[in-house]
Amino acid sequence: KYKLKTLRKLCGKNSVNLSVIKKTMKLKAIIVEDEQISREILRNYLGKYCPNVTLLGEAENIDEAYQLIQKHELDLVFLDVEMPFGNAFDLLEKVENRTFETVFVTAYDHYAIEALNNHASYYLLKPISIDELIKAVKQQFNLILNLIFVFQKITYHQKKF
């Protein structure tokens, strides 16, 4: 799902040391949450405990979220399920060629199956556990590092032949 263009940008034309990427790479993310206090809590937790995440925006409904998704090349979307004028699944249905991972952030556990069916990368229950948030971000970060590693291997072998 990760954009080939983004991998090329991260890797450049030559092989790049993954430890350098690990130290410098930032995950680009947005928060989609209708409750202001929940947005503030998540924003503060990300700022304090997840320094490798750069927030590019926040949305309080699916229309605002859709605009942000169209505007930015995102790695992560922190997504509440229940919102006015539509829900998380309505938003994901609107987005064609999804290239970001979705971390569901909700007070309801009964959406978990539907979230998994919509390729959730993680499912956080409110109140948000800081440890679980860190784990969710780290999982996504490591996934991208693995993709970069594989991309470099493929590129190396293509040059060889």
- pLDDT at residue 149, rounded to an integer: 79
Residue found under tokens 């490798």 = 52
In tens, the pLDDT along 95-149 reads 998 999 999 999 999 999 999 999 999 999 999 999 999 999 999 999 888 888 7
Angle 115-43-140 (CA atoms, 0-180°, nearest 5)?
A: 45
Alpha helices in 78-129 (DSSP H): 88-94, 112-117
Average pLDDT value for the chain: 88
pTM of the model as a whole: 0.85
Q: Are 122 and 58 in contact (CB under 8 A)?
A: no
Residue among 24, 102, 18, 13 nearest 65 (CA): 102
Residue 154: its pLDDT value, please? 75
- Judged against a pLDDT cut of 80, whether residue 157 lies above it is answered with no
Quick one: pLDDT at residue 15? 55
